[in-house]
Amino acid sequence: MERIGDMGIPLPPVEEQERVVACIESKTASFESAISRLEREIDLLREYRTRLVADVVTGKLDVREAASRLPDEAIVDENTEADALDDEVDLEAADEEVEA
C-alpha cells in the first residue's frame, strides 16, 4: 500500500484539462437545456393535473358525459398498476389541498 501511495499519477497540463472540461461542457449544454425544459413541462403537467382533479372534486368541472363513454373494464398492464399507485397518492394529496 505504501508503494502505491508513493507512485505519481500522470496528469495532462492544466491548460489541456481546462480545454477538455470546456469541450465536455459545450457538448452537454444542449442536454442540460433539454432536461431543464422537460422538468418544467413535467411540473406544469402535474400542476394542471392537480388543478383538474380539484375542479372535478369541487364540481367546477362536469365529467359525467366523458365518464359514460369509458369502457366497462380497463386494460391493465404491469406499468399501469405502478402508475395507478402513484396517481392514488397524488389524488390523496390533491384532495387534501382542496380541503385545506
Q: Is 89 a residue whose pLDDT tops 70?
A: no
| pLDDT: which is higher, 90 or 51 | 51
Sequence ranges of the domains in the chain: 15-99
How is residue 57 written as a grid cell?
A: 372534486
Percent of the chain clearing pLDDT 70 (strictly above)? 72
Is 72 in a helix, a strand, or coil? coil
Q: So what's the pLDDT on residue 80?
A: 59
Burial class (CB in 10 A: 0-12, 13-18, 19+), 50: middle
**pLDDT grade for 4, boundaries at 50, 70 and 90:** confident
Let me know the angle formed at the C-alpha of 41 by 93 and 36, rounded to the nearest 5 degrees. 115
- How many angstroms separate the CA atoms of 76 and 81, rounded? 7
| pLDDT tens-digit map of 33-77 | 999 999 999 999 999 999 999 999 998 988 888 888 888 776 666
Q: Which residue shows C-alpha cell 502505491?
A: 4
Q: So what's the pLDDT on residue 61?
A: 87
- How many angstroms separate the CA atoms of 50 and 93, rounded? 9
Q: Which residue shows C-alpha cell 402508475?
A: 83
